[in-house]
Amino acid sequence: MYINDFFYSTVIISLLLLGALSFTLFIRRLLINTKFKSNTSNDINKKLDRIIELLEKESK
């Protein structure tokens, strides 16, 4: 009887820890991807600004 209670308690605690770890890793990956997208967006904006400058020079 006590062995079953110990087993079930161990399984439940393990599942809770696994869920917390998965959630933490998910949030971490979400933040990293957001930062990467922001950096990529800034790079694209810089390139577009450069293209606009070149086109304005060419049209003058």
Residue holding tokens 């967006």?
A: 41
What is the Cα–Cα distance from 50 to 20, expressed in whole angstroms?
45
User: What is the pTM (predicted TM-score) of this model?
Assistant: 0.61
- Per DSSP, the three-state class of 3 is helix
CA–CA–CA angle 10, 21, 28 (5° rounding): 175
Per the model's pLDDT, the better-predicted residue between 44 and 13 turns out to be: 13
What average pLDDT does the chain have?
90
